[in-house]
Amino acid sequence: MSPEQFNTLIRSRRSVFPDQLDAGKIVDDAIIKEILINATWAPNHGKQEPWHFTVFSGEGLQKLATFQSELYKQEAGENFKEITFAKLQQNPLKASHVIAIGMKRTSNKNIPEIEDIEAVSCAVQNIYLSVTAYGLGGYWTTGGVTYKESAKSFFGLEEVDKLLGFFYIGQVALPSTGGTRKSIEEKTIWINE
């Protein structure tokens, strides 16, 4: 791959939301496995590999939808919104696969927790780039039950671990529009002397 091809890959990455996915088209599990292998090549302190993935597909998507919508309903109290409940029930069914993104706290207590979170975030970027390379759509959401302590065990996570969101993958029905970024000059300070 040339630097130009790599630059194009990175700069063409877009979030493709559940409503933009073709719910009827399934991505081969072998491709999802390759995407996850790519995720595991992310940098991580002390080679601890703190990522933990739970992949939902087929009937598993309905299990995820039911779990998260019912947990939301139980815990929302007076903040309950029917529209949120419906989205939690319906959105997983629009994807081919949904990957729960977990961070398993490393056994090395000399590594700050934030560095494990950062390593998982790098793994998610690898997922995003892989999805783009395969011509698929993907979206990392931290909504729904992501930060609920009561959700962790459903995804094989312990008390010290973190649920960092969900990555939706599917075939694209409605592409995202071109992205923009501020100029690098607005975001960079060079110190040369």
Whether 73 maps to a domain, the answer reads: yes
Neighbours of 140 (CB within 10 A): 17
At 106 the pLDDT is: 79
Whether 186 maps to a domain, the answer reads: no
Whether 9 maps to a domain, the answer reads: no
Torsion of CA 98, 159, 51, 34, to 10 degrees: -30
Whether 183 maps to a domain, the answer reads: no
Query: What would the pLDDT profile of 60-114 be if each residue is shown by its tens digit?
Result: 999 999 999 999 999 999 999 999 999 999 999 999 999 999 999 977 789 999 9
Q: Residue 89: give the domain boundaries.
A: 18-174
Whole-prediction pTM value? 0.94
Whether 185 maps to a domain, the answer reads: no
Q: Which residues contact 21 (CB under 8 A, 6 or more apart)?
A: 94, 95, 96, 137, 168, 170, 171, 172, 173
At 121 the pLDDT is: 98
Whether 104 maps to a domain, the answer reads: yes
At 177 the pLDDT is: 85
C-alpha distances (whole Å) from 186 to each of 14, 181, 182, 183, 190 are 22, 10, 7, 6, 11
Whether 181 maps to a domain, the answer reads: no
At 24 the pLDDT is: 86
- Per the structure, how many domains does the chain have? 1
At 35 the pLDDT is: 98
